[in-house]
Structure 1
Amino acid sequence: MPKSLNKIYIHIVFSTKNREPLISDDIKEELFNYLGGVCKNLECNPIQVGGYKDHVHILCLLSKKITLIKLLEELKSSSSQWMKTKDAKFSSFYWQSGYGAFSVNPTEIEIVTAYIKKQEEHHKIKNFQDEYRAFLKKYNVEYNEEYVWD
């Protein structure tokens, strides 16, 4: 084929270091917009960015010009540095070292988008760790609980 084509939807999930509830109401929308901007700058079209006090969800199209790990490195390092400039209370802001990335069927984009938009409601019932374990189970990801959290 003379032209490379792809359309890979990715649902990315990662938390703050030790799941500290540092994503406060006064910064969350700006942070989500910032993360969307990083995706856009890397040609990974952001579809929905959201999260809760201790984690984020990003639904985007993975560009054919960048690897998933490069996208994650850029998202986490630049947003962590950015957060530290916003207020002294974020001076010790860090993301966890790991992440989850799950492929999304194009027919489920609206479902995942709605899920990300309803994080506030969702986390009145389930904490991040239980939510993440459910993703791992849904996608049949083998893992050792000892190495999932930091």
Structure 2
Amino acid sequence: MSSTFSQIYIQTVFAVKGRQSLISEVWEDELYKYITGIVRNKEQKMLAINGMPDHIHFLIGMRPSCCLSDLIREIKKSSNKYVNDNFMKSNFQWQDGYGAFSYSHSALDNVVGYIMNQKEHHKRQTFKEEYVEFLRKFQIDYKDEYLFEWIE
């Protein structure tokens, strides 16, 4: 009997539409739990989730049968509705697009630490600086006009 063995770890980053600081500390943990539930219901494993009022990061362990773009689309769609129904009353929306960055098993502790330390990290670096640094570090070609909308 043959089996499939894999080790796929992806950090995903995406922002609130218009980069508005709408994620409140009052309910951010509820949002993270909700997103974690979506990931689990899709049979993937949430390893870390955290963020700032204008964006989130999460690290998942993925099965090879998962289509990342479908998962992200479901997370954004469902969490938009969840936030609007429970906290914002129809003002919340995620921005188009996302960043996805793969890691080896040996890097997981560092990535989890980085994600869980977002609030401290962003005292020293803006989201734009962080995101462009990811793109450069992972050698991803990009054009500035296709990046998220930035609030300067």
State the TM-score, normalized to the length of structure 2. 0.94
Q: Is residue 94 of structure 2 the alignment partner of residue 77 of structure 1?
A: no
Conserved 8 A contact 2:47-2:61: yes
Conserved 8 A contact 2:15-2:148: no
Name the structure 1 match of 2:142: 143
Q: Is residue 56 of structure 2 the alignment partner of residue 53 of structure 1?
A: no
Unaligned runs of 5+ in 2: none
1:70 deviation in Å?
0.9
Deviations 1:24-81 (A, max 9, x none): 1111111111111111111110000111110010101112332011111111110111
Q: Describe the SS at the equivalent of 1:109.
A: helix
Paired residue type of 1:143: Y
Conserved 8 A contact 1:22-1:90: no
Q: Describe the SS at the equivalent of 2:59.
A: strand
Alpha-carbon distance in 2 for matches of 1:116, 1:147: 24
How many corresponding residue pairs?
Answer: 149
Q: Describe the SS at the equivalent of 1:2.
A: coil
Alpha-carbon distance in 2 for matches of 1:38, 1:128: 25
Alpha-carbon distance in 2 for matches of 1:127, 1:23: 16
Q: Describe the SS at the equivalent of 1:85.
A: helix
Q: Kindly, what percent of the aligned residue pairs are identical?
A: 37
Name the structure 1 match of 2:62: 62
4+ runs deviating over 2 angstroms: none
Conserved 8 A contact 1:8-1:103: yes
Alpha-carbon distance in 1 for matches of 2:64, 2:42: 10
Alpha-carbon distance in 1 for matches of 2:96, 2:21: 16
Alpha-carbon distance in 2 for matches of 1:130, 1:98: 17
Unaligned runs of 5+ in 1: none
Deviations 1:108-130 (A, max 9, x none): 10000000111110111111111
Name the structure 1 match of 2:4: 4
1:6 deviation in Å?
1.2
